[in-house]
Structure 1
């Protein structure tokens, strides 16, 4: 079945493109804002009529009619204001949902390259920060700010002096808002970075709790964290002091301007240049004009966080373009070929694997041996398609790895890494690779192949036991057996094992050998990266990796014979293990 092959969008325009998909939401919200702000004139006009018409005429009927009209208009304003708030919240939700899968996918792919310092670990939080701004009242305040000049101009209708006072006060508030942005932007950013470092260090300490406690490091680690935390708090307080000072200044200035408006209006009333109703209406109108500016200044931290998040998110999408959809290929045969393979992991200057070539036929197992740091794990990641070769090619079933979609390739290749990771979910869900619809029969079959069935049945709820990720109470060997079952789930054509028996006991090692033996009999293939002889008992061929190069290759017995003096004893031991 061939999938549609679409050209990926320009990542530099991706954010704008997703935003524009929901721009109609903002258009409707802005339309509602027009009516909401027009209805904001209800209060000033009501006060104007009460002071200039009702009090002078002493008409209760006029007051009643005006009050009923005001109640109706305020009810309409409440509905429109509520509606626009819900609309912009849904705009933010749609924006986030449109990018959730894209950002999550990019986050997973960038996590493959921990050496890349620029790879952001906050992309999902940045997306949430943008959505949070859309759901906050300050977003509506920003939409109301364009009406501030309109309200200020309306004050001129009452008296030019009141208008000029309002313009002067509004201009001063805008200057304060700009100063707030310029003077606090760097301080807020530095506080966020310091807080992030402290939180990251605390998380590292939590994950290494056993080492921290057992090695007497808790006091020193705590002091180091407290030092980072204190620095973060100090910078946060400094940023808060600056933003707080601008917030207080804005609030006080707005209240002073309303009083100044009343004072000037009273003076004009005494000079018979305007009415008392116009004096009150002008003061109310000024307060309404300056309210969104005050809120924007008071919530500037939220705006700044969202703006920084938007910038980081754009950079993230730019550096992590979407993967192209690929033609779905049939299940490949278990024939793996690598030619002239050179791999330079991102962030590393020199290749960690150079000019490596290998051939693995169906029904065979290949052992890769070498010291720690020799390049075995790099080779494993390249064969899995996790690292892109700088030179050379890798073919599975005749097709290069980049011709397979990532999820399809993952179904064809089972992988057991050195560091086992389990997820929050049941044992069944973990073995089924977190599938939404696990195949129970395939789960049990994979567990039996990994000799994990009895282990799982001994748990409190068997296969339905919920695991708290790596914080579960399972031992290292138990986790590795479940991870081996996960690698065998779905009947992969190729199995890649990286130090598979590092935490396995004798029974686990025997189960591993039986799984490899069964795989070979069914015409599948396996690659085992190890430095332990027990792990290569089922291997037909061996390659030796040193300093990123394959220095020896051949049958298992030939390679062992050329490397060690007691090769005969090792061969007899391996043959005995293989006969079990």
Structure 2
């Protein structure tokens, strides 16, 4: 949790520095081109380069933090998940869903360490950037808010409509993989009984169903991806058109037109990245749900009390030994003490 909060803290500065590009373009169009001052251009260029350098360093640091978030998440749960899988299998419970739990844990780890999670940390800044465009001109702000809202609605619809197809496709893929692994383990028996053709036909049927479900899920998510991307490009061009209109009306400067378009692109960039990598988000969410289900079904072992290490000291009193089938004792009423490093043996004729 501490690392995630640190990444969120870095996101504040990274997203604030995202304003460098729009502000630089605004100053170039309104100040430099109007005054034709090379000194002003050089000063603005140096400041812009420094701010972008700082943004890159902070974004790099945030990426390293997120990578360690994923690694720490897996290191904290891998022993617990592995023990739960073994315990569930030892109790004779069905392990059809548990055999891929380690892969699910890895999918959650990859999500935490990916740039998709970083983009999700940037999503709260999207409304702020959209509202900030309204400072330039109300028309530009209204277009940005309406367009951004439509993009967010498309993202929510993507989440709702692709959830079940992705889950079905993932489950079908797991079944195909499990059956293929089963055939590999029983390859000798299958060949000796001449069941190659039957086994292939059954595997092909399962695999074809998995492929069909995967194509359906990819088609649906791809449609949302293309739709969101196309709408974003249209929105940026529309922003330039509306900006040109307010410039012609004398209500804004040319710099405002360019800066608004750039700021809109910055605002919608996290949305595009999340939608484009939505399959990773779905796998991570499904993996998280399965981890929660597994750990809830198999509680952790109770804490054991560490007993003191037994001392290597043996005291024997009144020892009597009667061999099997005999009536008389071979050893009677013996008392002795064995200290660490000593050995005791009985030597003599048997019987």
TM-score (norm 1): 0.53
Partner of 2:45: 67
Partner of 1:242: 220
Partner of 1:532: none
Partner of 2:195: 217
Is the contact between residue 88 and residue 95 of structure 2 (CA under 8 Å) also seen in structure 1? no
Partner of 2:252: 274
Question: Deviations 1:266-307 (Å, cap 9, x if unpaired)?
Answer: 011111110000000000000110110111111111111111
Question: Deviations 1:505-542 (Å, cap 9, x if unpaired)?
Answer: xxxxxxxxxxxxxxxx99xxxxxxxxxxxxxxxxxxxx
Partner of 1:204: 182
Task: Provide the C-alpha distance between the structure 2 equivalents of 1:114 and 1:207, rounded to a whole number of angstroms.
Answer: 21
Task: Provide the C-alpha distance between the structure 1 equivalents of 2:102 and 2:95, rounded to a whole number of angstroms.
Answer: 17
The change in CA–CA distance for 1:152 and 1:260 in structure 2 (over 3 A counts) is same
Task: Provide the C-alpha distance between the structure 2 equivalents of 1:137 and 1:255, rounded to a whole number of angstroms.
Answer: 22
1:325: how far off? 2.9
Partner of 2:2: 24
Partner of 1:134: 112
2:231 counterpart of 1:256:
no
Partner of 2:67: 89
Partner of 1:290: 268
Is the contact between residue 187 and residue 239 of structure 1 (CA under 8 Å) also seen in structure 2? yes
Aligned positions of 1:25-64 closer than 5 A: 25-64=3-42
1:114: how far off? 4.3
Is the contact between residue 119 and residue 316 of structure 1 (CA under 8 Å) also seen in structure 2? no
Is the contact between residue 110 and residue 119 of structure 1 (CA under 8 Å) also seen in structure 2? no
2:209 counterpart of 1:228:
no
Task: Provide the C-alpha distance between the structure 2 equivalents of 1:115 and 1:211, rounded to a whole number of angstroms.
Answer: 27
Q: Higher strand proportion, which one?
A: 1
Task: Provide the C-alpha distance between the structure 2 equivalents of 1:73 and 1:119, rounded to a whole number of angstroms.
Answer: 50
2:279 counterpart of 1:301:
yes
Is the contact between residue 147 and residue 235 of structure 2 (CA under 8 Å) also seen in structure 1? yes
Task: Provide the C-alpha distance between the structure 2 equivalents of 1:328 and 1:97, rounded to a whole number of angstroms.
Answer: 25
2:299 counterpart of 1:325:
no
Aligned residues: 313
Is the contact between residue 141 and residue 296 of structure 1 (CA under 8 Å) also seen in structure 2? yes
**86-95 vs 281-290, which deviates more?**
86-95
Stretches of structure 1 lacking an aligned partner (at least 5 in a row): 1-22, 332-362, 365-520, 523-580
TM-score (norm 2): 0.86
Is the contact between residue 148 and residue 289 of structure 1 (CA under 8 Å) also seen in structure 2? yes
2:80 counterpart of 1:102:
yes
Task: Provide the C-alpha distance between the structure 2 equivalents of 1:314 and 1:278, rounded to a whole number of angstroms.
Answer: 50
1:122: how far off? 2.0
1:153: how far off? 1.1
3-state secondary structure, aligned to 2:123: helix
Task: Provide the C-alpha distance between the structure 2 equivalents of 1:277 and 1:261, rounded to a whole number of angstroms.
Answer: 13
Task: Provide the C-alpha distance between the structure 2 equivalents of 1:187 and 1:69, rounded to a whole number of angstroms.
Answer: 49
Task: Provide the C-alpha distance between the structure 2 equivalents of 1:90 and 1:326, rounded to a whole number of angstroms.
Answer: 31
Partner of 2:128: 150
Partner of 2:140: 162
Partner of 2:155: 177
1:96: how far off? 0.9
The change in CA–CA distance for 1:300 and 1:119 in structure 2 (over 3 A counts) is closer
Is the contact between residue 265 and residue 279 of structure 1 (CA under 8 Å) also seen in structure 2? yes
Is the contact between residue 176 and residue 207 of structure 2 (CA under 8 Å) also seen in structure 1? yes
Task: Provide the C-alpha distance between the structure 2 equivalents of 1:115 and 1:87, rounded to a whole number of angstroms.
Answer: 39
Is the contact between residue 138 and residue 299 of structure 1 (CA under 8 Å) also seen in structure 2? yes
Partner of 2:294: 316
Aligned positions of 1:523-542 closer than 5 A: none
Structure having greater relative contact order (Cα 8 Å, sep ≥ 6): 2
The change in CA–CA distance for 1:328 and 1:268 in structure 2 (over 3 A counts) is closer
Is the contact between residue 98 and residue 294 of structure 2 (CA under 8 Å) also seen in structure 1? yes
Is the contact between residue 89 and residue 95 of structure 2 (CA under 8 Å) also seen in structure 1? no
